[in-house]
């Protein structure tokens, strides 16, 4: 929406301090805002019934998010600070810096309220719904992380909230279901199909199509039809706006490399957005390599979630992007040790930036991620989410290819994953893992 933005003439040339203070003027930060197109990716592949909702939301995004109408962005920033706890620190990781013989900095999104980056987006969208005059929020959730962030934001802003969640996931994620209910949300079980995230998204879209007058759908990542991918990126971009300034403050210059894990890719684009135009800064998107990158076409299963690395172009949930699909174009079941990365697609903007050679995709398998989980816990005193742990698996395997100053986004904390970590650790022989033999029968 260039007409509501300052001109970009200075941003295209400058790479000085003033530029660092105004990352929102940078052209890479504006990609896709007009039409949601990222090369061949993105778009609005939705049924006719959803078009009015999409158009109304696009208009609201332009006015409130891009145009700061009624001071929307000011209120968003203030609530992110007071309710969310922003800014999050950029912390030098002393032991990892020593281990890898380069400066390693951690962007601590695990310290955001709720324990992950997800609140940046949930709070932005729920607040936008209020500005739009909506009286009800719906959202989908897989493992429950986006559902809990949305329920939290809805309670904070006093608006009724319903979460759609697959029946199988409800039974696997009891603490998150309890969290949502504690915050006053209703949790609607979805029994269709396999009862997981994919069906929950479809069910939420169905609800939204018939209730659009009073309801907003809070999507959980940089996926879905335009304007969701750009809007979610713009809400998450606060991560890199802070990290860019903090890097200059702490290290005196920009990082050489920026690393983030990628499921749908919202923490990823949030961490990359402010650096996209700094050609000298290498951007690494770390995907879940699962148990192997080999695909079992017969069974319709990809034992990984590496859609950037191995995916093919197709349409899912309203956008064209890279997907895990078989040769007939059927979406395959994905797998990862971390539920938050376990998705067959990825945001269209990331797919585009990978094709352009601007973002390097890397797959890190379950074993390396679990080792990363233990390494960060034992060396730095930070227990990361299993999603985040993939970024530390990447660091261990690829640090020799990186420059002198590396920023890694710690997308979330690992408290939610302790049961899974115990179970997965028990199956493996990991150097850094604690000795738990005092429990009879192991851990």
Ligand X SMILES: *Cc1c(COP(=O)(O)O)cnc(C)c1O
Q: What angle do CA 36, 224, 149 make, to 5 degrees?
A: 120
377 near ligand X, rule: CB under 6 A: no
262 near ligand X, rule: CB under 6 A: yes
**Rounded CA separation 195/382 (Å):** 33
- Name the burial class of residue 333, with classes exposed (0-12), middle (13-18) and buried (19+) by CB atoms within 10 angstroms of its CB: middle
What string of H, E and C letters represents the secondary structure of 224-251?
A: CCCCHHHHHHHHHCHHHHHHHHHHHHHH
263 near ligand X, rule: CB under 6 A: yes
Q: Which stretch binds ligand X (CB under 6 A): 159-167, 171-179, 261-269, 286-294?
A: 261-269
Residue 441 has a CB neighbour count (10 Å cut-off) of: 6
CB of 439 to ligand X, least distance (A): 28
CB of 430 to ligand X, least distance (A): 21
Q: Catalytic annotation on 360?
A: no
**Rounded CA separation 270/199 (Å):** 26
- Give the orientation angle of helix 118-131 with respect to helix 72-82, to 10 degrees: 140
Q: For residues 215 and 411, which CB has a smaller minimum distance to ligand X in the complex?
A: 411
Rg (CA), the chain: 21
Q: For residues 102 and 348, which CB has a smaller minimum distance to ligand X in the complex?
A: 348
**Rounded CA separation 226/46 (Å):** 10
Distance of CA 96 to the CA centre of its chain: 24
Residue from the set 165, 385, 389, 402 that interacts with ligand X by CB under 6 A: 385
393 near ligand X, rule: CB under 6 A: no
Pick the catalytic residue from 30, 109, 140, 349. 140
Pick the catalytic residue from 30, 107, 118, 371. 118
Q: For residues 134 and 322, which CB has a smaller minimum distance to ligand X in the complex?
A: 322
Q: Catalytic annotation on 322?
A: no
387 near ligand X, rule: CB under 6 A: yes
246 near ligand X, rule: CB under 6 A: no
Residue from the set 195, 264, 274, 303 that interacts with ligand X by CB under 6 A: 264
Q: For residues 73 and 239, which CB has a smaller minimum distance to ligand X in the complex?
A: 239
- Name the burial class of residue 359, with classes exposed (0-12), middle (13-18) and buried (19+) by CB atoms within 10 angstroms of its CB: buried
Q: For residues 134 and 271, which CB has a smaller minimum distance to ligand X in the complex?
A: 271
266 near ligand X, rule: CB under 6 A: yes
**Rounded CA separation 208/196 (Å):** 19
**Residues assigned a catalytic role:** 118, 140, 411
Residues at the site binding ligand X, with contacts judged by CB under 6 A: 116, 118, 145, 221, 261-268, 340-341, 385, 387-388, 411-412
């Amino acid at each position: 929406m260039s007409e509501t933005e300052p001109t970009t003439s200075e941003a295209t040339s400058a790479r000085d301090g003033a530029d660092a203070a105004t990352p929102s003027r940078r052209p890479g930060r504006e990609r896709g805002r007009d039409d949601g197109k990222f090369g061949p990716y993105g778009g609005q592949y939705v049924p006719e019934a959803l078009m009015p909702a999409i158009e109304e939301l696009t208009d609201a995004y332009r006015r409130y998010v891009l145009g700061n109408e009624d001071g929307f962005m000011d209120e968003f920033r203030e609530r992110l600070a007071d309710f969310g706890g922003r800014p999050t620190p950029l912390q030098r990781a002393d032991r990892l810096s020593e281990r890898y013989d380069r400066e390693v900095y951690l962007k601590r999104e695990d310290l955001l309220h709720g324990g992950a980056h997800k609140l940046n987006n949930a709070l932005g969208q729920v607040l936008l719904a209020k500005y739009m005059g909506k009286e009800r929020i719906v959202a989908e959730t897989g493992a429950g992380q986006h559902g809990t962030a949305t329920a939290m934001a809805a309670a904070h802003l006093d608006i009724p909230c319903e979460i759609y969640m697959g029946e199988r996931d409800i039974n696997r994620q009891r603490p998150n279901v309890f969290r949502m209910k504690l915050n006053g949300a209703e949790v609607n079980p979805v029994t269709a199909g396999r009862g997981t995230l994919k069906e929950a998204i479809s069910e939420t879209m169905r609800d939204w199509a018939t209730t659009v007058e009073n309801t907003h759908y809070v999507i959980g990542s940089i996926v879905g039809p335009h304007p969701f991918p750009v809007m979610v990126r713009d809400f998450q971009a606060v991560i890199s706006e802070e990290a860019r300034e903090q890097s200059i403050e702490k290290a005196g210059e920009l990082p050489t490399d920026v690393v983030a894990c990628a499921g749908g890719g919202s923490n990823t684009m949030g961490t990359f957005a402010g650096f996209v135009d700094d050609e000298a800064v290498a951007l690494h998107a770390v995907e879940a390599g699962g148990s192997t990158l080999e695909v079992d076409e017969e069974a319709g299963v990809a034992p990984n979630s590496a859609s950037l690395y191995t995916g093919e172009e197709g349409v899912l949930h309203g956008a064209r992007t890279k997907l895990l699909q078989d040769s007939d174009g059927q979406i395959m079941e994905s797998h990862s040790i971390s539920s938050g990365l376990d998705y067959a697609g990825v945001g269209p903007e990331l797919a585009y930036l990978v094709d352009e050679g601007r973002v390097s995709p890397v797959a890190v398998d379950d074993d390396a991620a679990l080792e990363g989980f233990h390494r960060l816990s034992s060396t730095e005193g930070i227990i990361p989410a299993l999603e985040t742990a993939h970024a530390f698996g990447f660091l261990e395997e690829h640090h020799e290819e990186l420059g002198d100053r590396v920023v890694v986004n710690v997308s979330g904390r690992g408290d939610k994953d302790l049961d899974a970590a115990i179970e997965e650790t028990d199956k493996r022989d990991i150097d850094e893992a604690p000795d738990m033999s005092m429990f009879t029968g192991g851990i």
